[in-house]
Structure 1
């Protein structure tokens, strides 16, 4: 099998490095004596303030972008309505022009009957040569035609009036709808402005409350530091007073003695002993003198005892034991094996 170098996953290493950096920052923040004693992370507060300002700027920019987008949509809707109206007017004008150009009464098939042969098609064939198929008017056909024409004209007028009224109603309805839409847009804009104003008021109140809270925290921290300084100053003064009036500075000899319970004698604390008192010195001198005198008496007694022993020994040697055996006396013993 071949050895394949697979690409390493950098995301795991990046995540581990990110967690390690976060842990290092946390340790630096926690084990910082100044921050721990003061109880306030100034850098973190500054970072929060910068983040808050950035969020506020982003929100302001977003609101401005939304306002511009809303204005653009309003202008687009208004322009669309204007274009639609212009298109309808253009179509109506073109339709009227088409009617006037291509659907004139003079161009109809019965123009010769309605308009007195004005604009009617004139045939060049003599009337005597025309057959029955060329006949357009028969006897009895035009009975009541005038009445029918008047009725038709009235009907046309009614239709035109109804169409006109319908168009007017449609136009009025469109106007009303447009007015309602414009009112809704205006109300929406006003509502947006009011909401924006309320939002700004809330932000302002929040900022004021946050500033007051920060001022209160600052005042509390200053008061706490002042109280701490005052307490430390009092402790220092008490310590100085205790040091000045202590047994060490006043060299009190009794401070070096500590009474023990039971039958044990008092113990001297060497770290506090400043020397012996005159009474102790006189007692030591007196005891030394007594010891010296006792030694002299013992010496005299020993000298007397030595003289007595010497005299007794001389008595024994010179007076009591005069016949002293010689060496020959001792040599006579153990001379043979039997």
Structure 2
């Protein structure tokens, strides 16, 4: 039997390790700024092409191994059919030989009837002493016996010939069916080979188209990079030329002022301003001195105003203190009057209580007064 080199199933550890390595490569590819900004990775594409070719080679080897295994199975099945037929022929020949050797007509119980008593057992007992149970030949049975035997032999020959022809027809039919099945298998194999060839051609055309597309992309990217470098170089040169010939390098102060339409003053360009002139500086100093003097005058006025406010506040505070003192005096006098009135009320209440206790309620009830109540049911 041919050895089939089929790819074995990877274990869990190998699968996890493969996924980790793939994830690491993916992160390295994604986080590569230069590769992400500029475009495709030619090395990665070449690696993918190599991996694809390796996978295709593995598939081709596997298909070849399967073809060898299929051929071996076909040969084994054919050999098994041949062995089975030979075994059946041998069994049939042995059965015929056994029948011819051990099941002859002469060895049967009625051999004396069928074979004219040749080799049959003969009894020495007289026929007169034998009973009805010992009778083997009856009257009328011997008539047409030879003709009947010949007819039976002919019928047996016809049956055997018919069986033989039937077996031959079956054998021919089986051979034809086997031939048809073999032809169908061959056609299927040819169809599979053709489909595989077409598939390979399609894959090859796809790979060629993909390679051409990748090369075109690579060339386009290279051309785009060259054009970008050329444009950047021209821009840098133009900027250098403009810088060398601009007013910034010539130290021209007038370029910092731009005239505006109407009566509006000139506007100063900040990016071109080179500093102030002496006239401008003296004007600024004069303006600053005027602002300082104005500030001094404002401070003096504020001091005078604050002094007036302080005097007014002092007067108001003295007036408020005087009013508080008068209010306190009024409250004290009112409290004294209230105290005198309360003392008068206390004396009157005390006198009234003494009147009640000493003059009005002098006759107190005794126990007999209380015992006279609740003495009967009425």
**TM-score, with length taken from structure 1:** 0.65
Q: Deviations over 1:49-82 (max 9, x none)?
A: 3542354244324423432342233223213312
**CA gap 1:98/1:56 in 2 versus in 1, 3 angstroms:** same
Q: Which residue of 2 aligns with 1:63?
A: 63
CA drift of 1:222 comes to 2.0
Q: Distance in 2 between matches of 1:244 and 1:159?
A: 126
Q: Distance in 2 between matches of 1:127 and 1:337?
A: 163
Q: Deviations over 1:229-285 (max 9, x none)?
A: 232233233223323333334555543433456655445557546799999999999
Q: Deviations over 1:168-190 (max 9, x none)?
A: 11001111111111111111111
Structure 1: gaps of 5 or more residues: none
Q: Distance in 1 between matches of 2:362 and 2:107?
A: 208
Structure 2: gaps of 5 or more residues: 299-339
Determine which structure has greater relative contact order: mean sequence separation of CA pairs < 8 Å that are 6+ residues apart, divided by chain length.
Answer: 2
What's the RMSD between the two structures over aligned residues?
28.4
**CA gap 1:119/1:22 in 2 versus in 1, 3 angstroms:** same
**CA gap 1:66/1:269 in 2 versus in 1, 3 angstroms:** same
CA drift of 1:150 comes to 1.7
Q: Distance in 1 between matches of 2:50 and 2:196?
A: 22
Of the structure 1 ranges 315-324 and 268-277, higher mean CA displacement relative to structure 2 is found in: 315-324
**CA gap 1:201/1:123 in 2 versus in 1, 3 angstroms:** farther
Q: Distance in 1 between matches of 2:366 and 2:87?
A: 179
Q: Distance in 2 between matches of 1:75 and 1:128?
A: 74
Q: Distance in 1 between matches of 2:270 and 2:239?
A: 23
Aligned: 1:143 with 2:183: no
State whether residues 106 and 119 of structure 1, in contact with CA within 8 Å, keep that contact through their aligned partners in structure 2: yes
State whether residues 257 and 267 of structure 1, in contact with CA within 8 Å, keep that contact through their aligned partners in structure 2: yes
State whether residues 256 and 268 of structure 2, in contact with CA within 8 Å, keep that contact through their aligned partners in structure 1: yes
State whether residues 258 and 268 of structure 1, in contact with CA within 8 Å, keep that contact through their aligned partners in structure 2: yes
State whether residues 259 and 265 of structure 2, in contact with CA within 8 Å, keep that contact through their aligned partners in structure 1: yes
**CA gap 1:211/1:315 in 2 versus in 1, 3 angstroms:** farther
CA drift of 1:160 comes to 0.9
**CA gap 1:311/1:63 in 2 versus in 1, 3 angstroms:** farther
SS of residue in 1 equivalent to 2:121: coil
Q: Deviations over 1:172-226 (max 9, x none)?
A: 1111111111111111111111111111111111111211221222222222222
Q: Distance in 2 between matches of 1:236 and 1:149?
A: 128
CA drift of 1:330 comes to 115
CA drift of 1:141 comes to 1.2
**TM-score, with length taken from structure 2:** 0.59
**CA gap 1:324/1:175 in 2 versus in 1, 3 angstroms:** closer
